[in-house]
Structures are given as structure tokens and as C-alpha cells.
Amino acid sequence: MDHSAHNKLISFIWSIADDCLRDVYVRGKYRDVILPMVVLRRLDTLLEPTKKAVLDEVKFQVEEMEATELDDAPLIDAAGYVFYNTSKWTLTSIKETATNNRQILLANIEEYLNGFSANVKEIIECFNLKSQFQHMANKDVLLDVLEKFVSPYINLTPDEAEDPEGNKLPALSNLGMGYVFEELIRKFNEDNNEEAGEHFTPREVIELMTHLVFDPIKSDLPLTLTVYDPACGSGGMLTETQNFINENYPVENTTRDINLYGKEINDETYAICKSDMMIKGNDPKNIKVGSTLSTDEFAGQRFDFCLSNPPYGKSWASEQKHIKEGSDVIDSRFQVVLKDYWGNLPKDGFVDATPRSSDGQLLFLMEMVSKMKSTATSPLGSRIASVHNGSSLFTGDAGSGESNIRRYIIENDMLDAIVQLPNNLFYNTGITTYIWLLNNNKSEQRKGKVQLIDASLLFKKLRKNLGNKNCEFSPEHITEITQTYLDSSSVERQLNDNNVPAGIAAKVFNNDDFGYYKVNIERPDRRSAQFKEELIAPLRFDKTLREPMEHLYAEYGDKVYQADFFTANDKVKEKEIIAWCEDNDINLNAKAKAKLLSTDTWQNGKLLVELANKLAETITKEYNDYNLFKADVEDRFKQVSADVLAEIKSNKRKAFYTTVVNAMSWYDENAEKVIKKVVKFKQDKLDELLHHLGCEQTDLADFGYYEVDGKKLEFTTYESNSDLRDAESVPLTYLEDYETASDNSEIHQYFLDEVKPHVSEAWINLDSTKIGYEISFNKYFYQHKPLRAMGEVATDIINLEQKAEGLIADILGVDLSKVQGE
């Protein structure tokens, strides 16, 4: 079907909405009628030539075989498709026999719809088509819509036709029908301001994806293969893949058996996809409806190829309960086996591979990874092409679900390449997008490597924007990107005549180039301390409930300590407190509310104040050594606590001591370091520690162990200050930059090079180390533009000043030459 005829057909269908539905539906609801009617009319035209054969088969089964239920198989054979209709009606005959009797028209249509096979009935239900017919009938527009869709001026059949004027109407192939579906969907989405991601993928992007997936193995492509899309939408990715294989890799004397599988959450889009599969002779049973993330519909199946453009930037919070119980992942698709920095496996055997709940695109990628065939069962393994935005490349710190997903894919050598696409390539979003290529059976040349291809500057502009889409790939661009990938080599970006970067660029990296260690660098806590009234007073209130407790104490004073204060008229007080909290933007959950209204909470605060005041009677000076302060308080505490804390069990008094001591201190950079403990080692334990840290005894201070002068095997450790803590990202390949071998680990050497020269008293908290992975196109493809010469900048400034002077003179009506002459 030529482009002009295709556009005319789209325009005709689009006009039906404005002609017939304007006063019946709001504009955003036109699609609820137009899309299912397009599907229904297409199915109707396909079944018209075999209508008599199907009715004869029905008659044979009922009259000759006396069947109480019709047998599907012979009816499918008679229809020539995997669907059929056993009623006497077609849409054309319903229209031709229609009268002004609304009920008769609806009854005929219902009989027609009920005559479809079960797979079409499911589509009708998903479209909610019966209620749409009822609504249109009630508004007296049903017959008008029906007349438009069976008009002789529109050809939705697979055969060439003529309109009443004798003009040829091109046949609408199955591929052409797919274009009609998706173009209508695009226009409706654009008209309704649908979210980015809720759109179909441009055809040139799918063509690029298919080339990248299939070209490297075109000579080994099996005769029977499976293709899966976990977010299949209207099925465009699947059917285009099928068309691409058949057109580009034909086999002599036979055809390939290409089995398409998909799942779609939206009922309407699923109905379109399923009908498209039936129209094109594919098995509609392989298309499932529902959430891919909530239910693993294809749990027992593995696929040769997966191609998808999953939704990005879309929350999966509503589906979280199917994937996680609290913080525990219960779906095996999103559990991955990763060792920690020490090479140990996690206690549960796996780590969390779920991203933040606001963006589920990486879950779809993990769904496809879980469906890859192993090389033990399939010589080719599996290949994946998936479109993502930039978030999948770098969002999530080391140890997060996003980073764990990237790490798992890269460390298992599945990430083959990533291609950056131009902005504004998609219809409903202008953001930067990327094609991820995964392969669990890399060639020798690509093993342990990842190729990054920046094609963001490789495009041609459209003469007219299509939504957000203002550019596209030409066939030459697709060929260039594909060849760059096949060559698996680096390509330097060229500069155009204006000295501006243009064209394609590519770089090949080792897998571990994307990995890093995230480690905390600690600094010692230095504290001064003294019992002060302004520090003692806040002890009366729990830290987490300070504001409401201060309000209640100011309102009621010491009454809050009475045993029956919160139990008497508790509902009235509770309402008053909740109202006050709401007025002050304070949210209290049930646990916090119970704690606030508990007499024990208030009594504990009162005891803390009494204890601090009692200690303050004898400990009055200010200390710049927190260690001495603690020692003095501890000595005095033994005498005071027996009196003040008489009602408190002795095993719980330590908590009161700790709270008071901590509250009476503050950070002071001139104070002494706060000692955590002094550790005495035996030689075997010291050897274990040195092996664990991977260092020599002389390096222990770099890891927080400081030798005590004059005492062998005795070390001081200090409390760290969390406010001074820094997190450093150390490349896994840090030592590769050293010309001579280093005996240190990457982390230790990085510390010696980058931290210790600037912060001498810092140390490495090696036990905090996590491994992360991220990919930054900006870092790898950044091209430095030299600054302009100073003289050139100065000349521009002077020229601008001269222009500005002239403008001001014009505005004021002043002759600048005369003024300057004076």
C-alpha cells in the first residue's frame, strides 16, 4: 500500500470521529469507538469470502452430526483463519437491512457478535464493544458509524477494490493494517497528551533493533524460533520483527516458523495486538493480557529473542506486593546472585534486583533476562534488544537494586552494546533514549567487552514534526550504526566544516571499566562536654516527638506526668493532639501516637532531666576531652542512679546513662578525639585482621587502628563522626593506571593518593565497601571545546558596547556624533 493511499485511509477513519461522535463522546473517548470498529471491520472483511463455507459447516455439524457444541477445528479450516463467525450476518448485511427500529438493529449486531469464535469474543470484551454499541444506539448514531465503516469509499479488505466512481482502492495488507492501527493509536495518544512511553516505537528504531539483533547471526538463524516482548502494546515490535526476518533472511524451499509471544496490561491495546496476530496468521494464544511484573505468565518458557520498548519513568508501586514482602524480594525473576567485596555470597543466596518503585523499566529488562535460553540447551543462547531512557544507565548507588541489575548483567558478560539514540526520535517524548543489546553467547571477539555507540548526532530532520518526533534515521544511518556494531571497534567522532562534532562515535570497554567500589572514609569524632541547662531541658522530650511533647508540656505543665492524665478523657485529648499536629504539618502514625500518649514516655523524660540535674551538681566544669567527661560521669552515675532511678531495673539504667552523656556533648574540632576502645591482639588474631584488610601492620592506621606507644599488639580505635564521613567511588580498574605493580588494593592505593594527603587523620572503613556499576555516555564521549582567544572575546564585547550605545541614542533621540564632539 503506497504512502498516499495509507494517509487517505487514516484521514477517512479519523474523520468518522468528528462526523459521527462529536456530540456523543468527549474528544478523549473517540478512540473507544474508532479503534474497536477498525478491528471489527477488518475481521469482518477477512471472513466475508468464506462466509458460506462456514455456515455450511455449521449446518453440517448441527443437522448431520447432531452436535450440541460446535467443533472449532473444521470451522477454522472453513474460515481460513484462526477465528470465525457462525452468524448469518456481516456488517454490510446488517447495515443494508437496517431500519429505524433501534432494538432490531441492536439485536442483529448482538447476534453477529455472539457468532464469533471465543478468541474474538475476548477481544470484544476487552474493547467493551457491546456497551459502546448500546450507547451509540441510544444517541442515534450507531447506523451512521456503521455506514461509514462499510462505505464503498474505504477499503479495509486484503484485495484491491473500486469506489463508485471507478477509482482504484489499494488492497490493505496485514502489514498495512498494522500501520493503520498504530498510526491511529499515535494520533489518539498525541491528541490526549498521553504519557511518554505509552506509544509505539518508530519503525526505523525497530528496524535498527532487528538489524542489531539478527545480523550478527544471520547465517546461523534457526528455522524455528521464538520472539518475546513483555510490553508488547499493539504488537508492532513483534510483527515487524517477523516481517524483517522473512524479508531479509529467506530460506529456499521452505519458510521459517516464527512464534511470537507477548504480554500487554492495557485491555484495549491487548485487543488490538491479539486481533493483529489473528489477522496475520499468528497464534493469538501466545499473547497474554495482564501485568508482566505481577504475574510470570511464561514462567516455564525460554525465548530465542526478546525485543521490547518497555514503559520508563512509570511507577510499579501498585504491583510491588506481588514482587516483595516488606523488604524481601519473593519473585525469583528479580533475585540475583552477587558476591560482596570479600567474595562471600549473601545469607539468603541472592540480592535484591528491584529498582525504586517510581520507575519499573529495569524490571522488564530482568524479566527478559530471566527468559533467556542457556547455551547448554541452545547453541545460540538468546539475544535481547530493549529501549530505555538514561535512568537505567546510572540511577541507583552501589548496592541499590538498579546497580545490582547492571552489575549482574555486566559481570555475567551479557551486556553486548548500548546505542545512544538522537533526542526527539520518538513521537510522545523528546528525552534521550538508548538501545541495550544483551547476549549470553558472545563471540570470542566480544567476550568480556561492552561497546558503546553514540548515534545521537546521526539523524535527518523531518519537514514536519510528528508530535515530539522531529527527526528520523535514514536507511544509510541504520546501515552505519549496524556496521559499527558488527565491526566491534572504536570510531572517533569527526568534526564538520564548522568545527562542530558530527556523525557517529563508538568505544569498546572492558566489563570492569564500569564498576567501582563505594567505600566510606571516616574521620574521628572530637567532642567537648558540659552539663548545661540548655542541653538538659530537651531531655524531657523524646527526640522523635519533640514538637508535640513541647506543646503538651507548655499547655499542661507537670500534669502530663500524672498516671491518669492520658487515660482520663483520652479520646478528647487524642482529638485535640491530632488536630494540633495536623495544623502544624506533623504526621503521627499509630505507633508514634501511642508513644506520645504513654505515661512511660513522659516519666522517662522526667527521670532523664532529674538524673542530669543531679549529676550537674558535682560535675560543673567544661571538658575538651570527652573521654575524661565520660569517666567522671560514670563514676558519679553509680552513686546517683541508685537514688534517681530507684524504680528502674538495674539492667536498664545503662540506657539512661548513655542518653544523658551523649546529650551533654557537642562537636569541637579543637577537642580531643573520642576513643571507641583499645584493642589488644594476640598474634594470630592480628594476622587474621591483616589478611582481612589486605595490608601490612604498618598500614593499620589507614584502616582505623592506631598503635599505642610502647605497647606491642595494642591499638586504639576512635569513634567516627557521621557528619564528617565521605563516600568515595574507587574504580575497579584503579591500579591499571600504575606503571609498576602496587601491593595495595585499589581502595588502599586510592586512599593514599587522593585522601590521605588532604585529610591526614582519616581512615578507610573497609567493611562498608559495596560494589556498584554505572555507565556514563557523557563521560566517555565528552569532547573538549577549547576556550576562545581573549582578543576575540574582547573584540565581541567592544562591538556589543558600540551597538548598545547606538540603540540608547536612538531611543533618546540624541545625535551621538554631536554629543561626542562636545
What does the alpha-carbon distance between residue 89 and residue 110 come to, in Å, rounded to a whole number?
10
Question: C-alpha distances in angstroms, 5 versus 8, 168, 175, 463?
Answer: 5, 10, 14, 20
- Kindly state the average pLDDT of the residues 187-213: 75
Of the candidates 268, 289, 276, the one whose C-alpha atom is nearest the C-alpha of residue 188 is 268
- Kindly state the average pLDDT of the residues 673-677: 95
Confidence grade of residue 568 (pLDDT, cut at 50, 70, 90):
low
Task: Tell me whether residue 638 is exposed, middle or buried, using C-beta atoms within 10 angstroms of its C-beta: 0 to 12, 13 to 18, 19 or more.
Answer: exposed
Confidence grade of residue 192 (pLDDT, cut at 50, 70, 90):
low
**What is the pairing mode between strands 469-472 and 449-454?**
unpaired
**What is the pairing mode between strands 168-169 and 469-472?**
unpaired
Question: Cα dihedral sign for 691, 695, 701, 702?
Answer: negative
What does the alpha-carbon distance between residue 110 and residue 129 come to, in Å, rounded to a whole number?
10
List the grid coordinates of 317: 508501586
Q: Please count the other Cβ atoms lying within 10 Å of the Cβ belonging to residue 584.
A: 10
- Kindly state the average pLDDT of the residues 692-711: 92
The predicted structure's pLDDT at residue 588: 83
pLDDT in tens, 706-746: 999 888 899 999 999 999 999 999 999 999 888 777 778 99
What does the alpha-carbon distance between residue 466 and residue 426 come to, in Å, rounded to a whole number?
9
- Architecture in CATH for domain 193-311+358-514: 3-Layer(aba) Sandwich (3.40)
Domain ranges of the chain: 3-172, 193-311+358-514, 527-667, 673-718, 790-821
* 389 sits in which H/E element: strand 383-389
Of 47 and 792, the structure prediction assigns the larger pLDDT to: 47
Report whether 700 contacts 651 (CB < 8 A): no
Confidence grade of residue 191 (pLDDT, cut at 50, 70, 90):
low
Confidence grade of residue 624 (pLDDT, cut at 50, 70, 90):
very high
What does the alpha-carbon distance between residue 740 and residue 717 come to, in Å, rounded to a whole number?
33
- Kindly state the average pLDDT of the residues 793-817: 72
Q: Residues 6 or more apart from 170 whose CB is under 8 A from it?
A: 1, 2, 5, 155, 160
List the grid coordinates of 277: 496476530
Report whether 45 contacts 156 (CB < 8 A): yes
- With 70 as the cut, is the pLDDT of residue 1 above it? no
What does the alpha-carbon distance between residue 459 and residue 464 come to, in Å, rounded to a whole number?
15
What does the alpha-carbon distance between residue 135 and residue 138 come to, in Å, rounded to a whole number?
5
The region of weakest confidence among 565-579, 628-642, 806-820 is 806-820
The predicted structure's pLDDT at residue 8: 83
Task: Tell me whether residue 4 is exposed, middle or buried, using C-beta atoms within 10 angstroms of its C-beta: 0 to 12, 13 to 18, 19 or more.
Answer: exposed
| Max mean pLDDT range (32-36, 260-264, 279-283) | 260-264
Q: Residues 6 or more apart from 513 whose CB is under 8 A from it?
A: 450, 731, 732, 733
- Kindly state the average pLDDT of the residues 564-589: 78
Q: Buried (b) or exposed (e) across 96-115, using 16+ Cβ within 10 A?
A: eebeeeeeebbebbeebbeb
pLDDT in tens, 404-414: 999 999 999 99
pLDDT in tens, 39-98: 899 899 999 999 999 999 999 998 888 888 889 999 999 999 889 999 999 999 999 988
Phi, psi at 268, each rounded to 5°: -65, -45
Task: Tell me whether residue 174 is exposed, middle or buried, using C-beta atoms within 10 angstroms of its C-beta: 0 to 12, 13 to 18, 19 or more.
Answer: middle
List the grid coordinates of 474: 535514514
The predicted structure's pLDDT at residue 268: 83
Question: What letter represents residue 32's amino acid?
Answer: D
Q: What is the mean pLDDT of the chain?
A: 89
- Kindly state the average pLDDT of the residues 386-405: 94
Confidence grade of residue 31 (pLDDT, cut at 50, 70, 90):
confident
The predicted structure's pLDDT at residue 195: 45
- With 90 as the cut, is the pLDDT of residue 541 above it? yes
Question: Cα dihedral sign for 604, 605, 606, 612?
Answer: positive
Question: C-alpha distances in angstroms, 564 versus 199, 304, 598, 600, 606?
Answer: 63, 71, 10, 12, 16
Confidence (pTM): 0.85
% of residues, the chain, pLDDT over 70: 94
